[in-house]
Amino acid sequence: MSESLNNLRFDSIDQVLDFAVTKEEEARDFYLEWAQKVKNMGIREVLDEFAAEEQKHKDMILNVKAGGAFKTKPGEIIDLKIGDYFVTIDPDEKMTYQEALQVAIQREMGAQELYRYLQQRSNEATLKSLFEKLALEESKHKRRLEQLFDEDILIEN
C-alpha cells in the first residue's frame, strides 16, 4: 500500500465523502484535459467516455452525502492483470493509443487501491459499502481498459 494512503486522516463522514468527490473530480478533469490535448480522435473518445464515468461516480457520492443510496450492479470483475506489468508512463500530447490506455489503466488501479483502503479503514457500514462499490466501479473501468489493450494492442503484436 502506498505511503500516502497510510497518512490519510478524516474527522467526519463528510470529510471522507468530500475527499472521494475531489478524487473523482480530479480523475474527470484529468481525462477531459488529455482528451483535448491528444491528436488521435479514437483516444479522445475513450478519454471523454471515462471523464463521463468519473462524473457519474462524483454524482453518486454526492447522492450518498445527501442521504441517498449508492446503486451499482453487483458482480465480480475478472482482473486481467495486464496493468500489473506496466512501467509508469507520464502522459504527453503525443501519446500513442497504447500509452493512453496504459496511463488510464494505471489511474484506475490507483483509484481501486484508494477505495479499498478507505473501505478497510471505515467503521461506518454505509461508507464501507460505498467504498466497496466504488472500488468495484473502478475495477470495471480497469477491466474495460485492459480488454481494449488486449484486443487492440496485444493481439496486434
Could you tell me the domains of the chain?
11-154 (1.20.1260.10)
For residue 50 the three cell numbers come to: 471515462
N residues, the chain: 157
Q: Is the pLDDT of residue 75 over 70?
A: no
Of residues 48, 85, 45, 76, the one with CA closest to residue 143 = 76
Q: Residue 69: which residues within 8 A CB-CB, separation 6 or more?
A: 63
Of residues 134, 143, 81, the one with CA closest to residue 112 = 134
Q: Is the pLDDT of residue 157 over 60?
A: no
Mean pLDDT to the nearest integer, 84-101: 82
Q: Residue 10: which residues within 8 A CB-CB, separation 6 or more?
A: 16, 19
Rounded CA-CA distance 107/88 in Å is 10
Q: What percent of the chain has pLDDT over 70?
A: 90
pLDDT tens-digit profile of 78-89? 777 788 878 888
Q: Is the pLDDT of residue 1 over 50?
A: no
Predicted TM-score of the model (pTM) = 0.78
Mean pLDDT to the nearest integer, 143-148: 86
Answer yes or no: are the C-beta atoms of 128 and 122 closer than 8 Å.
yes
Map grid coordinates 500500500 to a residue. 1
pLDDT of amino acid 88:
84
Mean pLDDT, rounded, of the chain: 83
Rounded CA-CA distance 74/56 in Å is 17
Q: Is the pLDDT of residue 7 over 80?
A: no
Q: Between the CA of residue 15 and those of 5, 18, 24, 52, what are the distances in Å?
A: 15, 5, 14, 24
